[in-house]
Structure 1
Amino acid sequence: MTRNLLVALSLFVLTACTNTPDWDYDKSVEFANYKTFAWSPETDFDKGAENYQISELMEKRVRNAIQNEMGLHGFKLVDAQKADVMVNFHASVDTKLDVDTFNTSYTARWNYWGVGWHTQTQAREYEVGTLVIDIVDRASNQLVWRGAKEGRLRKNQSPEKRTESVNNTVKDILANFPPKPQH
């Protein structure tokens, strides 16, 4: 019984930690030619959002985090007409269901035939947020790079914790921008 519970908890902890970003990009693009960026006019972070965590406050945090990370990667924010690439981003929130089933005990009855496991199932609803960052070549208006990361949303966080979470998420997403050449 204890062993099964430990295995279930270990798997839960491991899956919670493996939330890595997803990237895709156009391999024909020479990313080294890009040095400047601007905000895409299509960026509408909270358009149609029904979740209270997607707001103007969160949009400001995301913009600041992207601007900081792009600067660390050698990109300069300029007017849209002078930019090499345009940055667009959006977020979504989905409700997911986590179901765990595990055996809690084993029983055997001697006064009649029978052996069995007692099984316990727990279901929990939780919210998962996804942040997507797009990099669009301004001259061709073509998407050249996309990064995304999803993670379980935490409620009742302080503004400082929310900012820290956004900064870490954006840093993780942009860790592969510009993409490293494959050898």
Structure 2
Amino acid sequence: MLRNIILAASVILISACSNTPDWDYDKSVKFTNYKTFSWSADADLKNNGGNAYQINDLMEKRVRNAIIEAMLKHNIKLVESENADVLVNYHASVDSKIEADSFNTSYSARWNYWGFGYQTQTHAREYDVGTLVIDVIDKASNQLVWRGAKEGRLRNKQTPEQRTTSVNKTVFAILENFPPVEVH
């Protein structure tokens, strides 16, 4: 019994840690020079492998609005492409995963069988995991200088407000480390 509780607590702890955004960036870049951004020509959820029910024009709008808000919080504003310091690209993917839970349900004896035992039940569920990736490209060099990504379980049957809140939280979590703090 104690072993099952410890196992369940470990699974919960591991799953909680997996929702942390992942970042990578070029340490040679001086990010404080970036004051403006524009959209990359490739910035589109649907054209980059997003084919799930939730990848649509409404979600596209939510992602763009959340990126604009998050960048403004870092004092980087949206401008026309010719005036931008950096280009922002984003894309999403959706993968199906299977989650299985096994647990002991009871002790029992069988007819015409001497002895006791326990029964193990396994339940499997398929669910969708979405990953949103945001790239920042230096416009002058056309080089990727920063990338952030976050994955999370997709939920169906949400209101538009719940979807907007979810997108905002995801985008803000990804862009929390942009621009990265420069250590000298």
Q: Name the TM-score, length of structure 2 as normaliser.
A: 0.88
Tell me the distance in 2 between the aligned counterparts of 1:173 and 1:80: 23
Q: Runs of 4+ in structure 1 displaced over 6 angstroms?
A: none
Task: Identify the range of structure 1 (35-44 vs 124-133) with the bigger mean alpha-carbon deviation.
Answer: 35-44
Please identify, of 143-152 and 3-12, the stretch whose mean Cα deviation from structure 2 is larger. Answer: 3-12
Alignment coverage as a number of residue pairs: 181
Could you give the per-residue CA deviations for residues 36-67 of structure 1, whole angstroms, max 9, x where no partner exists? 10011111211253211000100000000000
Distance 2:154 2:23 in 1: 21
Structure 1 residue 150 displacement after superposition: 0.4
Q: Distance in 2 between matches of 1:14 and 1:68?
A: 31
Give the CA RMSD over aligned residues. 2.3
Partner residue in 1 for 2:76: 75
For residues 8-157 of structure 1, what are the structure 2 equivalents within 5 Å? 8-18=7-17, 19-47=19-47, 48-106=49-107, 116-157=117-158
Structure 2's unaligned 5+ residue stretches are none
Q: Is the Cα–Cα contact under 8 Å of residues 37 and 80 in structure 1 kept in the other structure?
A: yes
Distance 2:113 2:170 in 1: 58
Paired with 2:107 and 2:25, the residues of 1 have a C-alpha distance of 52
Letter of the structure 1 residue corresponding to residue 37 of structure 2: F
Asked whether the equivalents of residues 131 and 149 of structure 1 are also in contact (C-alpha less than 8 Å), the reply is yes
Secondary structure in structure 2 of the residue aligned to 1:120: strand
